[in-house]
Structure 1
Amino acid sequence: MPEPHLRAADADRAAVADRLGEQMSAGRLTVAEYDERLARAYAARTYGELDELTADLPRPGTRRAAPVPSAVPAVRGGCGGWSGGPSRQAAWRTWAVTAVIVLAVWTTSSIAQGDLQYFWPFWVVGPWGAVLLVQTLHRSPAGERRRQLT
């Protein structure tokens, strides 16, 4: 980053916010830490303030840690690159975390209003979950051909 005392632009704050989101997705930040740092990122005035938010996180392009072996066995013959490995598990984990968050928001707003509100979380997690389910269960013809060639 440029000199710490120089003022940051909106694009700089957005870049730090994106990086924080990636680090939360990687499991390096909890949702609470992410929320707190995100608020500080958008309130930051200088590059130094932005740099503090990511100082304890790996820099982009540094070597990643080796993937942790999954306790769930891989399903043979998945959908293309979705062979039951970390990609599918990460997609389902992201969906589940999002589902919990939107359900918590909906529940909190329903309690605050005193009655059940329109169940809008369905439109967030429903179609996404359906696509993940199809990708998990469906065997793509391209994936079948690749498996036959190997």
Structure 2
Amino acid sequence: MAKDVARRTEVETLRAADADRHQIAEQLKSALDEGRLSLAEYDERVRDAYAARTYADLLVLVADLPKPGLNAAEVNARRAAEVRRQARKLPMALMVLWTIWGSVAALNLAVWFVLLVTVEADIYPWPVWLLVPGAALAATTVGVQAIRGQQRR
């Protein structure tokens, strides 16, 4: 994280080229056309864009603007989708527990199946006992997700 911040501030201190200034001016023009900026704001920001020396000077001019072509409904929909995606994501501890349980269950089933095929006697189906911790883990997962859902409201 600190490395990303250091790299970002390092990039922001680099000098901007004319092409960079022109690109920001085009983005400001799109914002003006969409009605996000008044004519006075547009004039001021374009003047500042062409006077900018570093990337930091340029980025501050468009920091409060969405990407061209996006409207408020699309921005809100993307944010809501990201929140829903994060809500569905299991906590890391549960992911680890499900991985361990799945690995143990797969290994037990494989051993049981090999014994079933190779031994002529009846083999007790011990892997069925793995359903008990599996059910407990499933109940815990449902409970955790329900609690997380209540906390978001």
Higher radius of gyration, 1 or 2: 2
Q: Would you tell me which structure has more helix in proportion to its own residues?
A: 2
Q: If the TM-score is normalised by the length of the shorter chain, which range does it land in? A: 0.3 to 0.5
* TM-score using structure 1 length: 0.40
Q: For CA contacts below 8 A with separation 6 or more, give which structure has more relative contact order.
A: 1
